[in-house]
Homo-oligomer: A and B are copies of this chain.
Amino acid sequence: MENQISPELKPYRQPDHEISADYVNRWSPRAFSPEPIDDESLMRAFEAARWAASSYNEQPWRFLLARTDSDRAKFLDLLIPANQEWAKTAPVLVLIISKKTFTMNGQPNSVNQFDAGTASGYLTLELSKLGLISHGMAGFDRDRARTVLNVPADFDLLAVFAIGKHGDPALLSEQVREREVPSGRRPVSESVMEGGFTLPKEKSAEEDTIPDA
């Protein structure tokens, strides 16, 4: 391991193969500090996103940024109430959109959302490496967001990310605080299939009876 998995994450997250702890240390808390973040950290994270691969190097991603009080209020109002409740504290909100057609010829780009997801992954990984947190939300009013934020018809509205510093979970409502736990993942072996689609292997009876060491 090149670096250390954070002690708060260790009980929930153990990789099966040796990797940088950066991937494991990035998680999605909801407890944001209201403290502002510095612009250069944010730009460094967008710089990471910039170098994502994309089909024909289209770079279909765009990032709509809210960091003034009035912009934050405008973006916040587009979220579902359950997200507004905790995202209101975050100093930065970012809506990620992606262009549905290729600029060079106007043809549909079937992987625009996929490529925007790659850029978004680098954004959030880099934020985490910079000591910041982010939490993505699919729960927002896309139709209203398109109108309010002037998003052209040729762009898909994908996700809103709350970005900031990790705050005190004690300030969350009890209901939200109960969910403030790092999520695990299914093992790599259940996501990788050899030669074609196969259902995960059933555990054999023998394996099931092997006690934990």
Residues on A facing B (Cβ under 8 Å): 13, 15-20, 23-24, 26-28, 40, 43-44, 46-53, 55, 57, 59, 61-68, 70-71, 74, 96-97, 110-111, 113-122, 124-126, 129, 136, 138, 148-152, 155, 158-159, 183, 185-188, 191-198
| Secondary structure dominating the interface of A | mixed
CA distance A121 to B163 in the complex (A): 20
Q: Is the CB of B20 within 8 A of A159?
A: no
7 shortest interchain CB distances as A-B pairs: A117-B117, A118-B121, A121-B121, A114-B117, A17-B47, A149-B196, A23-B51
Least Cβ–Cβ distance between A151 and chain B, in angstroms? 5
Task: Report 25 cross-chain contacts, Cβ distance below 8 Å, ordered by A residue.
Answer: A13-B51, A15-B47, A23-B126, A26-B53, A28-B53, A46-B188, A50-B187, A50-B191, A52-B121, A53-B121, A62-B191, A63-B193, A64-B193, A65-B192, A65-B193, A65-B194, A65-B195, A97-B197, A111-B113, A114-B117, A114-B120, A122-B125, A148-B196, A150-B197, A152-B197
CA distance A57 to B185 in the complex (A): 8
The residues of B that contact A138 with a CB separation of less than 8 Å are 55, 110-111
Other-chain residue from B19, B46, B61 in contact with A47 (beta carbon distance below 8 A): B19
Least Cβ–Cβ distance between A130 and chain B, in angstroms? 10
